[in-house]
Chains A and B, each alone.
Chain A
Amino acid sequence: MSHDGKFEFDSVQDEKSIQTFLAALTEGFGRGRVVLRSEAEEIVLTPGALVNFGVKAKRKDGESKMTIKIAWKDARTQLAAGERTLQVES
C-alpha cells in the first residue's frame, strides 16, 4: 500500500449490477492490485500472499445480511520501499 487512506462506498444495486462490482473486485485480486478511487483520492491495496478471508451471513425477520471480510498485513519491505519513494519525491 502506497499510503494510508480510507474509501467508502454505500449504494443500492440489483442482482445484475452487483455482479459487475464483484467481477471488478475479483479481477483486481487476480492482478494483485485493488484500486479504489473517490474523486482525486485513490487507494491502491496490494493483497498479500496470505489473506484472512471471512464470510458472515444472517437472516432475521425477512432481512438478510452478508459480510465479506478480507484482511492482510502489508509486507514491511514494501512499506519501507514506499517511504523511500516518498522521500525521493519530496
Chain B
Amino acid sequence: MTEHRIPIVARGEVIEDYELTFNGRYGASFQCPDASKYLDRILLPSRREMEALYALSLDDVLDYLVEFGAHLDLASNPHLQWAAELTRTFNDVPSHLVEGAMAGFGSSFLKRDHLEAMIETVGREHLDGWKAHERANGRISHIRAFGVPTAHVIAGNGPSPAMMTFVRNALVRGYAIVKIPSNELGTAVALARTAIDMAPDHPLTRAFSAVYWRGGDAAFETKLYHPRNVERIVAWGGFASVTHIAKYIRPGIDLVTFDPKISRSILGEGTLASDESMREAAIRLADDVGNGNQNGCTNARIAYVVCDMSEEAIVACKRLGQMVYEEVQNLPSAISSPAIHMDADFKARIAALSMLDDEYHVIGGDERGGVIVSLEGDQVDFADDLKYRTLNLVPVRDYDALLRYVTRDVQTVGVYPEHVRDELRTVLALHGVQRITSLGYMREYNASIDPHDGNEALRKMCTWVVAEDCMTHYSPAQWRQREQAEANRP
C-alpha cells in the first residue's frame, strides 16, 4: 500500500518528521508530523518578521505572483502532480476535474489582469501605501489595509481554495497558516513547495504555511488560536466546523466565514411556453447541474418552475425534466461525467421517491444522474444533499411558493428568463441569497473578484489602520481650545 505523507511547510521550511497517522476519507490513511511539536516554527517569532513584506511594493507582489503562475504548470510541476494524485485517493472529485482546476492556476488565476481586478476590490491605494483623506476639521487620515497573521481553515472540495488563499494572503501581505483539509491534502503543500523552489527566501514564500492537524484537536487549537498568534480566522466549512471554531473567537480574533452553500434556479413564467424556450432552459440548466459533477456550492440542486400547476403544466414539467436529463448526458466529459460510485443511502432515497409515484416523477436516478419532478410542488427533504448530477424540479404557482424555501444557505440563484432577476433580486437578497445570475452561468462564479458568499472577502481579510496627521493643517485640539479662548479674552 502506498504511504501518503503530508509534510508541514512552515515559513519556507519543509518538515518531514512523519510521526502521526490519520484516517482520511474513503478508508485511506496518511501520515504527517505532529503539528504541536512544531508550533513555534509555524508561528511568527515576532511581528517584525512581517516588515519585509512591507518593504515590497504592490508591483513587486504582482511580479512574484505572475512568476509563481508560470511555475504552476501541471505537466512540469512535480508538487502539483503529487497533489493531484492524492485527490484520487482522498477525494471524490474526478481527477480530470481536479487537473482542470489546477490548469487554471497559471493560465488564468495568476494572470496580471486578474490580479489587478482582485486588487481593485480593495483599492490599490490602500494596499500599496497610505492613502490620505482630508477631513473637515483639518485632520489628514492616512489609511492603509494590512494583512495580519491569519489561520485559514479551507474547504477541501477542490484545489482552488488553497490557490485562492495563497493569492489573497500575498495581496494583503498577511501571514497565512493554512489548515489542510483531510480530503484535499496536497494542494496547499504543493503551492508552498513550488514557492520555495522558485524563491526560497522571498518574504511572500515565508508568509504561507500549510499544516495538517485534526480539526477539533482542542490541545493544538487552544494554543494556535490566541490573539498573540493569529488575529483572524478565515473559515470555510460546515456548521459543525464553524461552531467549534467559534469558541476560540474573542476580542483580538475575528472570524470571516465562507459557509457551505447550496444553489438553486428559478425558471419564470413562460419557460414552459414553447419547445424552444424549454430546450434553451434545459441546455443551460444542465450545465448548472452537471458542470464539475455537482460537487460545488454553485451547482444547481433545485429548480423551481413557475407555472399554473395545471395538469398540462405538470406534464410539461416532466418533459422539461427529461430534456434536462438528456442535456446533462450531453455535457462534454471534460467538465462532467457519470458518478464513479453511488452511496447506498442515496440510492435508497431515490428508490423511495420512485415508488411514491403520485408525488414524484423520477427520471434516471442512477450513476448517470437524474431529475426528480415534485408533482405536488414540495421540494424533496434531501434537496440540499442532491449529488451525482441529480436535480429536483419543483413546479410552483408563484414566487411566494418558492420563497418559503429560500434561506441564507442559498448562495446563487440562476434565473431564466432574464427579467426574473430584475423582479426578484431585492427580495432574494432579503431572504439571504448572495448572488443572482443568468441560468447557465451559475458555475462561472469568480469569488476572487465579485463578493464571496456575501463578503467583500479581500477587504474583510484586511485590518484597516489609520495614521493621522493633526498638525499640518493645525487642526484645533480639545486641549488647545481653552488656551485659545483665554488668549482671545479681551
Tell whether A pairs with B. Answer: no
Which residues of B are at the interface with A, using a C-beta cutoff of 8 A?
Answer: none
Which residues of A are at the interface with B, using a C-beta cutoff of 8 A?
Answer: none
